[in-house]
Amino acid sequence: MSVALIRPLVVRTIAVSDPRDLPARLPDSAPYAWIRHGEGLVGWGEAARAVIPPGPGRFDRAREWLSSLFAGADIEDEVLMPGSGPVALGSFTFDADSPGSVLVVPRVVLGRRNGRAWLTTIGDDALRLATPPRDPGRIRYGDGSLSALEWEHRVALAVERIRDGALGKVVLARDLTVTAERDIDPRVLVARLAGRYPECYTFSVDGLVGATPELLVRHSGQSIESLVLAGTTARGADAAEDEARGAALRASEKDRHEHAYAVASVREALAPLCSSLTVPEEPELLVLPNVQHLASRVTGRLSDGASVLDVVAAMHPTAAVGGTPTGTALRVIRELEGMDRGRYAGPVGWIDARGDGEWGIALRCAEVSGATARLFAGCGIMAKSDPAAELAEAQAKLRAMQYALEG
């Protein structure tokens, strides 16, 4: 495992006045962020970094490295709430065999939650002044691994596999390439996404930027919560069409079946870890600016002292981003998608020294590098899926990051 760090960590967390606009506090230095409804964490600098090698046990290796790092730290924390003290932000690749998973402990973290705010610093001379964000200028899009027509063909092949009985569901993703006039400033994307999609979790971790609607797990003490999303429709052109689309989504046999697969996979993953688990009988409707989803909020209480990364390891990949059964779906994804997803649809989030944290699934996101980026969207393919409709759904999901780039 590749590791870089300032040792030993000397961590100080103090209460501060409300910073209000978290993205506006970020300097021009590899920003880190996890924001929802204006609350969460932003950070910058690196006190420690670990590149997690691929393969089985990667979440265990990540947890062991963090446990050792935090156990040896000199910590003064006058706030003592989830996200205070030393925090690591991270993102993992979707495929366990793909490289690129990373955990970073920022040198500075500014937090805001439940009417309180705090500043965590590691080492000296960590504070930097924020500079104005830079607009990326003109944006050009190009096909990613597959053209739209090629991707529709892969969807049709997946439908054939499902109808033949090989599997019940598979999620296929597609990508778009982006070239900007100037280097893409992640702070611009974070600010635009957090402003337009407050219900989502806006994140920025080591070049991966997005706003995911899907909470994989929130861990606080022994309590956990997961928001399961599966089944999607675009927003309507007006209120009447919007309501009709939502009603059709709720009534859709295909979408309800897809959602049931996702909920079942979460239940099966969490049940062995929990002394109690509550799963709603019916999904609700989550309405976002670009799409509507079927959503189920699952809550539970852990039966032992598992950290949030232990729960993430048990849950990933859920049926919402992989398929059912998992092993077969992953093989079909590798065969049909024609690309490596990288960190798209993998876990992204944060963990503190107490093992608390919030992790989402990296959806509605882009991998940013200089003036280029790679955008992703995925769709759950079922026996009744129509390739053209799935392409339209993918395009609706891509609009979130296109908005963030274009403003």
Question: Which runs of consecutive H residues, i.e. helices, occur in 209-341?
Answer: 239-251, 253-270, 308-315, 326-336
Query: Does the active-site annotation cover 169?
Result: yes
Element containing residue 380 per DSSP (H, E): strand 372-381
DSSP character string of 185-207: -HHHHHHHHHHH-TTSEEEEETT
Q: Name residue 205's beta-bridge partners.
A: 208
Count of CB atoms within 10 A of residue 12's CB? 16
Q: Burial code of 227-240, b = ≥16 C-beta within 10 A, e = fewer?
A: bbbbbbbbbeeeee
For 79-134, what is the HEC assignment? CCCCCCCCEEEEECCCCCCCCCEEEEECCEEEEEECCEEEEEEECCCCCCCCCCCC
Element containing residue 396 per DSSP (H, E): helix 387-406
The active-site residue out of 46, 169, 258, 397 is: 169
HSE of 203, CA atoms in CB hemisphere, 13 A: 32
The active-site residue out of 46, 64, 160, 214 is: 214
Which positions are annotated as active-site residues? Answer: 169, 214
